[in-house]
Homo-oligomer: A and B are copies of this chain.
Amino acid sequence: MPLPSSESEERELTPPRELAQITALIQPQLVAVEESILQQVQAFDPAVQGYVAYACGSSGKRLRPALALLAAGATGGIDARHVSLATIIELIHLATLIHDDIMDGADTRRGQPTANARWGNSITVLLGDSLFAHALDLSTRFEETDISRAIARAAREVCTGELLQTQRRFDLQLSQAEYFRIIEMKTAALFGVAAELGARLNGASDAAVRALRDYGLKLGTAYQIYDDCLDLAGDEAHAGKTLGTDLQKGKLTLPMLFLLQTASENGARERINQALLNGDAASLLTLRQAARKAGALAAAATAGRTLIEEACLPLNTLGMTRYRRALKEIGVRLGAMVGQFA
């Protein structure tokens, strides 16, 4: 009698439930992406496959792959090249998460110990590097060099955005414009390139490519704002990751920038600054309550929702398809997620 497949294997091959309804129409291709991600493990030296499998197997939301596939569907159809594209972009995302967790000193992600918690920082730096290099190797298999170039550039944007963010930690002078520039680089760039290249691989019109790129960039920006709100005011057990790390690490997120803006009175501003610089559990609670009370959390959530509306508008220039509707529904769903903080 053959052994049943293990529970973890089954879970890994199932697209996450959160998006399951919206992305039902790309279910076979999302499964193909999941399989393709797991297949990449085989490309590595046997001695390091265990690390790579762990990094790839922590089934995330696969939002970026979904965007690439839906953008492809909305501009002519989905083929094997889009599955490759989705795989590459998710691998780059996974590589950046691995390095993020080192810098944040995070112990858990998606309910599992992080790579750095399991194997220490040295192995984890190199694991991220290896995944990153492998993703860029895969990207050179497209016939068009402009596809691999766009992927490498988006990867560079992500790294530079993270670098800028790290540089500006505990910098109470950070402006909203600077904040938006940083999150557009560190988060939105990969959403943007996923949607853009999904269309470009189909030879879509410049207008369609631009519409999808703009959609990806704005959706990605809103997604980061949602993540910021979650880190400040979310529930750790439900989120499946360590929360409150932004404040501990001195990352000034949008709710905090709104809070600082509302605190015009000197004493209030001084108290917020002090709590931001402290970054301990008591300060986190103080800031969470202050952000709620001052409407700063709600203002950030509203900014996120406005961005989502703007993201979906250019989609009207695309032909009316189930895929276009699904892209809009992702916006609706993300709008509801960020809306819980409004």
Contacts and interface: CB of A to CB of B under 8 A. Distances in A.
Interface of A: 44-45, 47-48, 51, 96, 99, 102-103, 121-123, 125-130, 132-134, 136-137, 139-143, 145-146, 148-149, 152-153, 155-156, 158-160, 162-164, 166-167, 185
A155 B141 contact: no
Secondary structure dominating the interface of A: helix
A166 B123 CA distance: 6
Given A121-B121, A145-B143, A145-B145, A130 B160 contact: yes
A96 B137 CA distance: 17
Contact of A149 (B125, B141, B185): B141
A132 B129 CA distance: 9
A140 B129 contact: no
Contact of A145 (B102, B148, B164): B148
The 10 closest A-B pairs by CB, nearest first: A137-B152, A133-B156, A140-B149, A129-B159, A126-B163, A130-B159, A103-B122, A133-B155, A136-B136, A140-B148
Nearest to A185: B45
9 contacts: A96-B129, A99-B126, A99-B129, A102-B122, A129-B132, A137-B149, A140-B140, A142-B145, A148-B148
